[in-house]
Amino acid sequence: MILRSATRPVAHAMSPIICTVDIVLLTLQRGMLHVALLKRDHAPFAGVLALPGGYVHAAEDADARDAAERTLREKTGIVSPYLEQLATFSGLARDPRGWSLSVTYYALVPDDVIAAANRPEVVLVAIDKLRGLPFDHQQIIATAVQRVRDKSAYSSLPVYLCGKCFTLPQLQSVYEAILGEPINKVSFRRKIDELDILEPIEGALEAGKAHRPAQMYRLKPRYGQHLSLTNRALNARS
């Protein structure tokens, strides 16, 4: 027993590994993907804009997802219906405090949810205007954006960027903003129809524009949390 513990001591006695979660909260503003950032309270990088994140609290969090939900709620006041694990970033190099490990998650919300949370300290920055982020947050965000683009081509993921109700032309422009290219209108409607996730809101039309009003739709109740997948991409290019 003494011998064994001398050759391989248990990890938590020997390794002060810093365990954190970071959340990439994405939304769409003026047709551009934006990420929510906050000024850091403490060193290192105090005052610098960074991803909302924090330590895993083993005493209160059931698991890392719990820690991510709690951190997002505490730091931004938002509870996101869609929150998925992205990847884990780790190593000695990424944090000056020492060997660290961050389990990262990404979330998509319509931008009125961010407005409703009413936290002026939450800053939305366009994903192509990011500068001087601390740690490896730039890489984490790039990974999240890539994941969202890849998934969007094959799934209903972008509906989480829309509000409770929306028109098909609105949804199409959300897809186009994410994929970064125009989508054929007829093909798009065929795909959405195949996904079978939307239902028209009886009698609700988008009024006020100087043209034929569009039908409003909402997500079918059973698709509140999980995605629907297509067999083929919406658009072959990427």
Residues in contact with a copy of itself, shown as a per-residue x/- string from 68 to 87 under the rule CB under 8 A: -----------------x-x
Distance CA 91, CA 98 (A): 8
Say which residue the tokens 């366009």 belong to: 126
202's contact among DNA, a copy of itself, none, with CB below 5 to 8 A by partner kind, is none
**Count of positions on this chain that bind a copy of itself (CB under 8 A):** 39
Q: Binding a copy of itself by CB under 8 A: which of 2, 3, 6, 92?
A: 92
- Does 44 contact a copy of itself by CB under 8 A? no
Q: Does residue number 231 form part of the binding site for a copy of itself (CB under 8 A)? A: yes
Q: Does 90 bind a copy of itself (CB under 8 A)?
A: yes
* Of 72, 235, 75, the residue nearest 158 (C-alpha): 235
Q: How far is the CB of 31 from DNA (least distance, A)?
A: 14
Q: And the tokens for 238?
A: 């990427």
- Dihedrals phi, psi of 75, to nearest 5 degrees: -85, -30
Q: Applying CB under 8 A, which of residues 2, 10, 186, 210 lies at the interface with a copy of itself?
A: 10
Q: Helices 137-152 and 168-179 sit at what angle, rounded to 10 degrees?
A: 130
Q: Is 4 an interacting residue with respect to a copy of itself (CB under 8 A)?
A: yes
15 touches 100 (CB < 8 A): no
